Amino acid sequence: DGGITQSPKYLFRKEGQNVTLSCEQNLNHDAMYWYRQDPGQGLRLIYYSQIVNDFQKGDIAEGYSVSREKKESFPLTVTSAQKNPTAFYLCASSIVGLAGWEQFFGPGTRLTVL
Amino acid sequence: DQQVKQNSPSLSVQEGRISILNCDYTNSMFDYFLWYKKYPAEGPTFLISISSIKDKNEDGRFTVFLNKSAKHLSLHIVPSQPGDSAVYFCAASERKGSQGNLIFGKGTKLSVKP
C-alpha cells in the first residue's frame, strides 16, 4: 500500500522539551512538506524539501527544524523555542513537475504541550 | 495578507440539494487551483483541481468553476450527501517558477443534513 504515515497520532510533551514528529512516504515522491493547522485556520507551511539533503523554510519556520537524509523520510522537530506548539501537524508529499501539483497528506499528529 | 480567501466559515445544505463553496484569490500569478476535503483529526484528501487554462472541470458529483477575471473559483457538489459533511479547503499555486507550494484558504465547514 502506497501512502504517507505519520506517527504517533497523538503526542503529549511537557513545556520546554523538544519533540520529533515522524513522516514517512513510500510514494517515491521527491517533495515533502510540513504544515500546521490551528482551529479556524488554514494549513500553514512550516518547512518543505524538494530533494534529499535540501530543505527550505516556509511561512512559519521559527521554532522548528527538519532534516531530509532519505527520500522517504522528513522528520520535524518542534523545539522549545516554538511559543505555541500545541497544534495538529500534517505532512505531505508530491511529485515535482508541471503535470500537477497535488499534494498527498498523511493522517496527521496532534501535539499537545502541557 | 491572505492570498486565498474562503469567506464563508460554514455552510449548511439539505441532502440532495446543491452545495456551492466559494474561494477568492488575489495573486494573478496563480495558475493551478485545488480543492481538498478534510474530516476531523485526519489529513486532507485531494478532491479536484483546475488549471488556469480551463474554466470548468468536472468529476462525478464535483465540479469546479474558475473565473479568472474575477479571481474567483467555486466548487459545486450535486447532489449533496451526508458523507460530504467535512471542511473543504481551497488551495492555489503558481506552478511556473515556483516550487509547487500550495497556498491554502482557511476552509469552509460543510454540513449536509439528511
Say what the pLDDT of residue A41 is: 83
* Contact between A75 and A66 (Cβ < 8 Å): yes
B100: nearest CB among A44, A96, A105: A96
Find cell 512550516 and name the residue.
Answer: A46
Q: Which residues contact A66 (CB under 8 A, 6 or more apart)?
A: A34, A46, A47, A49, A55, A74, A75, A76, A77
* Alpha-carbon gap, residue B33 to B40, rounded angstroms: 23
* Contact between A78 and A111 (Cβ < 8 Å): yes
| Longest Cα separation, chain B | 46
A10 - beta bridge partners? A110
Q: Could you give the angle at the alpha carbon of A35 between the alpha carbons of A29 and A41, nearest 5°?
A: 140
How does strand A43-51 pair with strand A104-105? unpaired
**pLDDT, tens digit (0-9, with 9 covering 90-100), for A47-92:** 999 889 999 999 999 999 999 999 999 999 999 888 899 999 999 9
* Alpha-carbon gap, residue A26 to A47, rounded angstroms: 20
Contact B49 A45 (CB under 8 A): no
**pLDDT, tens digit (0-9, with 9 covering 90-100), for B60-103:** 999 999 999 999 999 999 999 999 999 999 999 987 666 668 99
Say what the pLDDT of residue A98 is: 54
Instruction: Pick the residue of B101, B106, B108, B109 with the most A CBs within 10 A to test the interface with A by mutation.
Output: B101
**pLDDT, tens digit (0-9, with 9 covering 90-100), for B20-48:** 999 999 999 999 999 999 998 899 999 99
